[in-house]
A = this chain, B = another copy of it.
Amino acid sequence: MSDTENRMTIICWSGDLDRVWPQYILATTGASYGMQVTLFCTFWGLFPLKRPEVKITGDNWMTKMLGVANNERLSHLNFGGMGPMMMRTIAGRHNVAPPEELRDIALELGVKLAPCQMTMDLMGLTRDDLIDGIEEPLGAAAAMANMQRSSINLFI
């Protein structure tokens, strides 16, 4: 198998718990089987790369409202914010690791987590607001160059 056939790039667009899970499950599974995996984290998908203590606050009423996105949510069955906790509990009972743990496993397995530069600018985030161990911020062109060399490309 050539190098091209053994790469996967996932555009992680969503920060919803029920989409972050498949992002990381696919990433860690691929890396476990020797694939070179890159997660390009853009739009709402940048939120899971924030340090937990960093909140989007903004310097005006509009960016301040983005702060609502600080709270974890499900795309469906959110139940006013209780859905994510319920889903985490059900998963825990079945020994499915939470996303934070899968993210750490991903980093250990060599998965590249790349934040989107444009999204960082829009959200007013700097590199210091993001967790350790991730890649330098990338633009869309770099993400696309990566996808051209990948056998599996997904938008999640």
Contact = CB atoms under 8 A, between A and B. Distances in A.
Contacts of A156: 13, 155
Contacts of A134: none
Instruction: Give the number of copies in the complex.
Output: 3
B69 A77 contact: yes
A122 B90 contact: yes
Contact of A11 (B18, B22, B44, B118): B22
Tell me the dominant secondary structure on chain A's binding face. helix
A91 interface: yes
A131 interface: no
A126 interface: no
A153 to B, nearest CB: 5
A5 B26 CA distance: 22
B42 A65 contact: no
Contact of A144 (B26, B66, B69, B73): B26
Contacts of A69: 76-77
Interface in A99-151: 118, 121-122, 140-141, 144-145, 147-148, 151
A22 B143 CA distance: 12
B141 A152 contact: no
Interface of A: 5-6, 8, 11, 13, 16, 18-19, 21-22, 25-26, 29-30, 32-33, 35, 42-44, 62-63, 65-66, 68-69, 73, 76-77, 79, 86, 89-91, 94, 96, 118, 121-122, 140-141, 144-145, 147-148, 151-156
